[in-house]
Amino acid sequence: MHMLPRTLLHYFFHGRRSPRIPVDGVSVSSFRVWPTDLDILRHMNNGKYLSIMDIGRFTLMQAAGLVDMFRQEGWYPVVVGQTISYRKSLNPWMKFEVESRILGFDDQAVYIEQRFVRPDGQGVPEVYSRAIVRGRILKRSGGVVPVAELIEKTGAGSAEFTVPEDVLAWGQSTRLPSTRAHAPSIW
């Protein structure tokens, strides 16, 4: 299934019905591995994980009550960096969930952790894959929403966030120059 129809189906039939969570809560999105998600090895393609993570982040925003606030402010999120590690394969027709939560902020961005999970033999969620996403919030009128303003308007200042030091180091080491800076591709 193409991602736009899948995203809309998820938005109307799952995301809008998700229970409200605090801004530092964990959002859970349910999925199934469809044949269109598979690669030649007959497990979910690594690129599909990233696309499904988009849906999981949108569900997180819905559940935390951020979608309407972002619309009112004229803001929208963009991914500026992400890293993902794979532990077990997701195979055809398997049901799985994506757990998403905001880890916290640095001076420029918000960090989100997302996990692909399935129940183990005892019904406990087992991690199949884990990703860290670094995102920025942009203004439709142009420019970037300062992190301090984002924290203030979302109520995130009253939440307990802890971005692990290794995640902050990864975020710092993988930053690209500003869009206003020159960035030649020289090997």
Show me where the domains of the chain are located. 3-173
- pLDDT at residue 180 in the model: 87
Instruction: Supply the pLDDT for residue 128.
Output: 98
- pLDDT given for residue 53 in this prediction: 97
Rounded to the nearest 10 degrees, the angle between the axes of helix 66-73 and helix 46-63 is: 90
**What is the spatial distance between Cα 1 and Cα 48, in angstroms, rounded to a whole number?**
11
The candidate with the shortest Cα–Cα distance to 16, out of 62, 85, 69, 47, is: 62
Residues of the chain falling short of pLDDT 70: 1, 15-16
Give the separation between CA 112 and CA 79, rounded to whole angstroms.
10
Q: Does domain 3-173 have CATH number 3.10.129.10?
A: yes
**Neighbouring-strand partners of residue 130:** 85, 115
Verdict on whether the full-model pTM lies above 0.85: yes
Let me know if 56 is exposed, middle or buried by CB neighbors in 10 A (0-12, 13-18, 19+).
buried
The alpha carbon torsion through 20, 26, 27, 31 (nearest 10 deg) reads -150
> Given phi > 0 = left and psi -120 to 50 = alpha, else beta, which region is 85?
beta
What pLDDT sits at residue 15? 65
Q: pLDDT value at position 127?
A: 97
Q: What average pLDDT does the structure give for the chain?
A: 93
Give the pLDDT score at 93: 97
Torsion of CA 108, 22, 72, 107, to 10 degrees: -10
